[in-house]
Amino acid sequence: MAAEFKAPRGTFDVLPDQMPARRRLLETAARIFARAGYRGIITPDFEDTALFERGVGSSTDIVRKEMFTFEDKGERSLTLRPEGTAPICRAYVEHGMQKLPQPVKLSYSGPFFRHERPQAGRYRQFHQIGAEAIGSDSPLADVDVISLLGDLIEELGVPGAELRLGSLGSIEARKMYLEELKSHLRARSGELSDEVAERIEINPLRAFDSDHQGTKAVIADAPLLLDQLDEADAEHFAEVQQLLGAASIEFTIDSTLVRGLDYYTRTIFSFVCDRLGAQSEIGGGGRYDGLIGQLGGPDTPAVGWAAGIERILLALDEPVEPAGRDLFIAVAGESERRRAVALATELRRSGLSVEIDLAGRSMKGQLRQADRIGASHTLVFDDGGAVLRDMDRREQRRVEPSEVLGLLRPESA
Ligand code: HAM
């Protein structure tokens, strides 16, 4: 029967078979965050629309065309969050976190929403994991956050990942550069793709992202921001590179690196993976020293990143074995059901993973089911008592139900 309803375009269901890989990712990340002192934070899945307009920037694709915005019953404009940094900065200011010892180091994961054209690795609801260090302008903070994502990629075993690094300098220096870039693009606008040509005035940096041949040729001779950093920004960038070296984190400098959000200053970075095709970025981020001030808070330097959970899983693309079960309890007849349910409950409370038959299967069917779920032992209740079968060794013996815990977990007996 064809399904009448399907998940909305650009969204997906995460099915039980896919959960072990996702859980492994989240558990690995939780360990990495905890050992570096990044504590978790959860913000709402929707926020005032103005937060993103002001925080992410009105010239970005995200704000111009990708937000899921709606009006609530009180006629307030709300938006399903397209990203997590502006909400976290909102929470930092709202809860007076500037009074805590700085920097405040935070980590998060959850769903995000962008109305993009769906394709492999690009969805309308996706999940990010991320970290932010708020309240330090030290290059050490840049390297601290970068090392977290580097470790995550390394410990998960993502093949072929590479770190690209750039700097956007300060907002003032960037303004001068953008004027220079615009006049370069204007002078050769006939060679640009329509999309880039139309956006010269709004977002000229996007030209660096284009795959269009003509645009690429124009960009090849464009002035580069990296060549025009002022002294303080250049020093900061040099120090980030030195410290990455000291931490043995490999990187390449990418003087054409740009990001799709307006709040970045100084360091920007991106972890890409050649396995991913067009949507090649696993995760990325950078400094956003002006964002908290822009949202009405005290001037506070900050740096962070987010990575796409689905992108990481796509890059890994190897099944994680589902966890087996300690025990399957099979019953020969109705009369053993009570004993089975009593024992299953007791053993689960002692920490064993235990399943019983819920489908009224025959004995043969129950044993097949025990095999299917990877139970290491099966306990069969019959008229004579109970038989414990070791499924790997294919050995069995009569036991008292009270002995089972001790036999399966000798240390807890
Ligand atoms: P972003 O580059 O927009 O940055 O997104 C971060 C990551 O989220 C991307 O590298 C990608 O892996 C994943 N991602 C983005 N859009 C989609 C999509 N439509 N489908 C699937 N995955 C996607 C940010 O969001 C910033 N808040 C990062 C940051 C944190 N910067 C500083 N702190």
Query: Could you tell me if 251 and 368 lie in one domain?
Result: no
Q: How confident is the model at residue 412, as a pLDDT?
A: 63
Residue with the bigger pLDDT between 209 and 292: it is 292
Residue 138 CA to ligand 1 center (angstroms) comes to 24
- Given a cut of 60, whether residue 320 has pLDDT beyond it is yes
Domain boundary among 316, 337, 365: 316
Domain boundary among 260, 284, 316: 316
Helix axes 309-316, 139-156, angle to 10 degrees: 40
Q: How confident is the model at residue 323, as a pLDDT?
A: 81
Atom 14 in ligand 1: residue holding the nearest Cα? 308
Atom 12 in ligand 1: residue holding the nearest Cα? 308
Which segments of 277-382 does DSSP mark as H helices, in order?
A: 291-294, 309-316, 337-349, 363-372
- Asked if 110 and 84 count as a contact pair (C-beta separation under 8 A), the reply is yes
Residue 300 CA to ligand 1 center (angstroms) comes to 22
Residue 340 CA to ligand 1 center (angstroms) comes to 49
Q: How confident is the model at residue 409, as a pLDDT?
A: 87
For residue 282, the ligand 1 atom closest to its alpha carbon is: 12
Domain boundary among 283, 316, 349: 316
Atom 9 in ligand 1: residue holding the nearest Cα? 283
State the Cα–Cα distance between residues 26 and 122, nearest whole angstrom. Answer: 20
- Given a cut of 80, whether residue 29 has pLDDT beyond it is yes
Q: Is residue 187 part of a domain?
A: no
300: tokens are: 């506070």
Residue 130 CA to ligand 1 center (angstroms) comes to 9
Residue with the bigger pLDDT between 333 and 404: it is 404
Query: Could you tell me if 274 and 353 lie in one domain?
Result: no
Q: Is residue 186 part of a domain?
A: no
Q: Is residue 216 part of a domain?
A: no
For residue 288, the ligand 1 atom closest to its alpha carbon is: 32
Atom 3 in ligand 1: residue holding the nearest Cα? 260
- Given a cut of 90, whether residue 243 has pLDDT beyond it is yes
What is the helix, strand, coil percentage profile of the chain, to 5? 45, 25, 35
Other beta carbons less than 10 A from residue 278's beta carbon: 9
Query: Could you tell me if 312 and 244 lie in one domain?
Result: yes
**Residue 389 sits in a domain of what CATH number?**
3.40.50.800
Query: Could you tell me if 311 and 377 lie in one domain?
Result: no
- Given a cut of 70, whether residue 252 has pLDDT beyond it is yes
Confidence of residue 50 (pLDDT cuts 50, 70, 90): very high
Query: Could you tell me if 151 and 250 lie in one domain?
Result: yes
Residue 259 CA to ligand 1 center (angstroms) comes to 10
Average pLDDT over residues 164-174: 90
State the Cα–Cα distance between residues 168 and 233, nearest whole angstrom. Answer: 9
292: tokens are: 């908290």
Q: Is residue 332 part of a domain?
A: yes
Pocket test for ligand 1, best of 33, 83, 291, 310 (most atoms within 8 A of CB): 83
Residue 307 CA to ligand 1 center (angstroms) comes to 6
Query: Could you tell me if 122 and 81 lie in one domain?
Result: yes
Q: Is residue 23 part of a domain?
A: yes
Q: Which residue has the tokens 């969204």?
A: 11
Q: How confident is the model at residue 250, as a pLDDT?
A: 97
Query: Could you tell me if 75 and 146 lie in one domain?
Result: yes
Residue 354 CA to ligand 1 center (angstroms) comes to 40
Residue 2 CA to ligand 1 center (angstroms) comes to 35
Query: Could you tell me if 271 and 340 lie in one domain?
Result: no
Q: Is residue 10 part of a domain?
A: no
Confidence of residue 321 (pLDDT cuts 50, 70, 90): confident
Q: Is residue 202 part of a domain?
A: no
Pocket, ligand 1, Cβ cutoff 6 A: 83-85, 114, 116, 121-123, 126, 128, 130, 132, 259-261, 281-286, 288, 304-308, 310-311
Q: Is residue 213 part of a domain?
A: no
Residue 43 CA to ligand 1 center (angstroms) comes to 16
**Residue 303 sits in a domain of what CATH number?**
3.30.930.10
Range of the domain at 277: 16-173+229-316
pLDDT tens per residue across span 269-289: 999 998 888 889 999 999 999
For residue 259, the ligand 1 atom closest to its alpha carbon is: 2
pLDDT tens per residue across span 346-379: 999 999 999 999 999 999 999 999 999 999 999 9
Rounded percentage of the chain residues whose pLDDT exceeds 70? 100
Q: What b/e string do you get for 193-210 counting C-beta neighbours within 10 Å, with b at 16 or more?
A: beebbebbeebbbbbbeb
Query: Could you tell me if 158 and 32 lie in one domain?
Result: yes
- Given a cut of 60, whether residue 48 has pLDDT beyond it is yes
pLDDT tens per residue across span 197-210: 988 988 888 888 88
Query: Could you tell me if 127 and 74 lie in one domain?
Result: yes
Atom 11 in ligand 1: residue holding the nearest Cα? 308
- Asked if 14 and 79 count as a contact pair (C-beta separation under 8 A), the reply is no
Q: Is the dihedral of CA 3, 9, 13, 14 positive or negative?
A: positive
- Given a cut of 60, whether residue 413 has pLDDT beyond it is no
Query: Could you tell me if 273 and 158 lie in one domain?
Result: yes
Domain count, the chain: 2
Residue 46 CA to ligand 1 center (angstroms) comes to 17
For residue 281, the ligand 1 atom closest to its alpha carbon is: 10
Rounded percentage of the chain residues whose pLDDT exceeds 90? 80
Atom 10 in ligand 1: residue holding the nearest Cα? 283
Query: Could you tell me if 312 and 342 lie in one domain?
Result: no
Atom 22 in ligand 1: residue holding the nearest Cα? 308
